[in-house]
Structure 1
Amino acid sequence: MLALTGVTKTYGDGAGRVTALDDVSLHVEAGGFVAVRGPSGSGKSTLLNIIGLLDKPDAGDVSLGGERVVLAGRAEAARLRNRLIGFVFQSFQLLPRLTAWENVALPLFHRGVGRDERRAKALAALDKVGLSDRAAHRPDALSGGQRQRVALARALVGEPALVLADEPTGSLDSVSAAAALNLLRDVNVRLGVTIVMVTHDREAAARCDRTINIRDGRVAGEAA
């Protein structure tokens, strides 16, 4: 499903040059649930941005679903993101003026899907995460755990092959965090969606099939 080979990424020039990723290679099988852990500044976010086609490596190769994507231009990268990848963020990134279902439907809007079909698919996605009764609520009327479930429904509505979760439990209390992890695992097992989750939380990482440790921009080890 996902393969990185010799990926290197640097920022800045001269004395201010920083190597965010240094010759990183990893492989995630289809249907896997993988945690990426490491201290702040270790390169986790850069890795997620490159996997998510939000940034390009300076060197190395990236493949998604058997498709080499490292050379994709901006428009092609956007098309691939919309077709292959769902994103879940720590800060939820829901638009405050839109209802839950309208937020969930946004990826479909960018695909040119009509309003009635968008609404039907968004409501079905909200039902999968147990929030069909909150479809007409705006984010400020939802709890943190409910907002995270809306964000997960938005990530799933386009039926992606890969979900990238960036600290998905970082803004949640322990009960909501456990519920969010249960939902991610359920999506992974029941729908076969591959998940790569960046987390500082050792307990959250323990819920995954594998943990890849990143330190100083390099893969520092892996645990099953």
Structure 2
Amino acid sequence: MLRLESVSKYYAAPDRAIAVLDEVTLSIASGEFCALVGPSGSGKSTLLNLIGLLDRPSSGTLWIDGEAVAGCSAHESARLRNRLIGFVFQSFHLLPRLTAWQNVALPLQYRGVPRDAQRAAAEAMLARVGLADRTGHLPGQLSGGQSQRVAIARALVGAPRLLLADEPTGSLDSSTAQDVMALLAALNAELGVTVVMVTHDRELAASCPRQIALRDGRVLGSGSGTC
């Protein structure tokens, strides 16, 4: 599903280039559930942004679903993101004036799906994440855990091959975080979607089948129990 070869990311400083990622080579198979772990500044979020086509590597090659994407134009990157990738963030990013189903339907709206079909798909996905009775609620009427479930439904409604989650439990209490992790694991198993998750929580990371540890922009280990 994902393959990176010698991927580096540099940022210019007044006197030198600073390497945030340094010659990262990594493969993630279709259907895997992986946690990216490491201290702050290790390059986790930068790596997630590159995989999500939100940024470009300074050097190296990146393949997603068999397609080389490192040199894609902004337009082509946007097209691939909409077709292949779903995103879940720590802060939910729900639009406050839209109901739960309207928030979930946004990726379908961007694809030009008819409104009735948008609503049917959004409500079906909300039911799948346990929110069948919250489809007409506004974000302000939802708990943190419910809001994150709406965000997960939005990420998955377009049937992406890849789900990228950046600290998806960071704004939640420990019990709700465990519930969200269980939901992600269930959806990974049921839908076969590949999940790559950044987390600082070692307990949550340890519950993932695979952990990928980074430090100083390099992959230190990749496998069960590496964190």
TM range (shorter): over 0.9
**Residue 116 (structure 1) aligns with:** 116
Unaligned runs of 5+ in 1: none
- Give percent identity, aligned residues only: 61
Is 2:131 the partner of 1:126? Answer: no
Question: d(CA) in 1 for partners of 2:45 and 2:16?
Answer: 19
Q: TM-score, normalised by structure 1?
A: 0.98
User: CA-to-partner distance for each residue in 1:61-115, whole Å, 9 max, x for gaps?
Assistant: 0111111111110111000000000000000111111110011001111111111
**Residue 94 (structure 1) aligns with:** 94
Question: d(CA) in 2 for partners of 1:32 and 1:53?
Answer: 19
1:1-224 alignment, distance < 5 Å: 1-15=1-15, 17-224=17-224
Question: d(CA) in 2 for partners of 1:178 and 1:23?
Answer: 34
Letter in 2 for 1:74: A
Question: d(CA) in 2 for partners of 1:18 and 1:43?
Answer: 12
Residue 16 (structure 1) shift: 5.5
User: CA-to-partner distance for each residue in 1:142-172, whole Å, 9 max, x for gaps?
Assistant: 0000000000000100000000000011110
SS in 1 for 2:15: helix
Question: d(CA) in 2 for partners of 1:32 and 1:149?
Answer: 20
- Alignment RMSD: 0.9
User: CA-to-partner distance for each residue in 1:13-58, whole Å, 9 max, x for gaps?
Assistant: 3426321100011100000000000111111111000000000001
Letter in 1 for 2:2: L
Name segments (4+ residues, structure 1) moved above 6 Å. none
Unaligned runs of 5+ in 2: none
User: CA-to-partner distance for each residue in 1:99-143, whole Å, 9 max, x for gaps?
Assistant: 100110011111111111111110011010010110111111100
User: CA-to-partner distance for each residue in 1:165-220, whole Å, 9 max, x for gaps?
Assistant: 00011110111101100010001111111000000011111111111111111111
Question: d(CA) in 1 for partners of 2:114 and 2:17?
Answer: 46
Question: d(CA) in 2 for partners of 1:92 and 1:129?
Answer: 15
Letter in 2 for 1:31: G
SS in 2 for 1:15: coil
